[in-house]
Amino acid sequence: NIEELERQFQEKIDNDIKIEPRDWMPDAYRDTLIRQISQHAHSEIVGMLPEGNWITRAPNLRRKAVLLAKVQDEAGHGLYLYSAAETLGADREETIDDLHSGKAKYSSIFNYPTLSWADMGAIGWLVDGAAIMNQVPLCRCSYGPYARAMVRVCKEESFHQRQGFEIMTTLANGTPEQKAMAQDALNRFWWPALMMFGPNDAESKHTEQSMRWKIKRQTNDELRQQFVDITVPQAEMIGLTIPDADLKFNTETGHYEFGEINWDEFWQVVKGNGPCNKDRVDARRKAKENGMWVREAAAAYAEKRANRNKE
């Protein structure tokens, strides 16, 4: 009976036994994973756009090669994650259509514009830094295919974070104009990076259940705090200022206290009203339309071959 199955399922989770695609799982567990993994996949794919914007304008060949590799990694992460969602029975095309119709969510961070080269540094340092903070615990996620995907993804994210910090370090040690450019990028990306971790725990509707199922291993607020604690000293090291007047180190707790996040802005961006939401979804939709002839030709060729083999 279902209660017994659920009990055995939770027991496996409690004993850190991975759940695999063919194992029994509650519908709600499956649905939560499909939701999270597909949102994650969309984030990787949409996440190629803000940085793709600068590939042709990278300041030198080395920077260009590195940025190109990073953006390609993100495409790989997206495809890997769509496959992980498929192991749960999700239909890849339907999932992608949900992104294109505006029904599916993806990370709020990718709805901000990339206005200068320094934004490539800020994104690598802060956005990929936040992504690693959130994804390292997902390597211990209870669902096997997702956890295993995260191991590889995190290795690549760590290269992304380093390349971003290296850009920021170079600019911060450059001319006054270059340093100002780095500071401006930090000013614009700091708060949106903190928003990546999602609403405060008290407002997060999925956290409690996802923690019980060990889909999430740490809460939104825990991860956000870790990110602030690690990142503030990095900014100090390169002589940049975090744009938060309330930021201070609490010597008793050993943590940084930080100002209030603008949650109104966050929900506006999540709902589709951020600065670039429309551009991002349009770009993805256009990419699918423009590539349609390739898929049609491939399908027609596959059909022709299949018929030939029958004869």
Contact residues for ligand ACO (CB under 6 A)?
35-36, 39-40, 43-44, 47, 105, 107-108, 131, 134, 195-199, 204-207, 210, 216, 220, 270
10 Cβ contact list (under 8 Å, min separation 6): 212
Q: Which of 44, 235, 30 is nearest to 153 (CA)?
A: 44
Distance CA 241, CA 145 (A): 40
To ligand ACO, the closest distance from the beta carbon of 97 in angstroms equals 17
To ligand ACO, the closest distance from the beta carbon of 306 in angstroms equals 38
To ligand ACO, the closest distance from the beta carbon of 283 in angstroms equals 16
Using the minimum distance from each CB to ligand ACO, give the nearer residue, 203 or 236.
Answer: 203
Using the minimum distance from each CB to ligand ACO, give the nearer residue, 184 or 201.
Answer: 201
Per the listing, tokens 């059909």 go with 303
Using the minimum distance from each CB to ligand ACO, give the nearer residue, 112 or 197.
Answer: 197
HEC string of 116-173 equals CCHHHHHHHHHHHHHHHHHHCHHHHCCEHHHHHHHHHHHHHHHHHHHHHHHHHHHHHC
Distance CA 37, CA 292 (A): 25
Q: What is the DSSP letter of 179?
A: H
CB atoms within 10 A of CB 181: 21
Using the minimum distance from each CB to ligand ACO, give the nearer residue, 63 or 274.
Answer: 274
To ligand ACO, the closest distance from the beta carbon of 299 in angstroms equals 30
To ligand ACO, the closest distance from the beta carbon of 179 in angstroms equals 27
Per the listing, tokens 């870790």 go with 226
Using the minimum distance from each CB to ligand ACO, give the nearer residue, 178 or 204.
Answer: 204
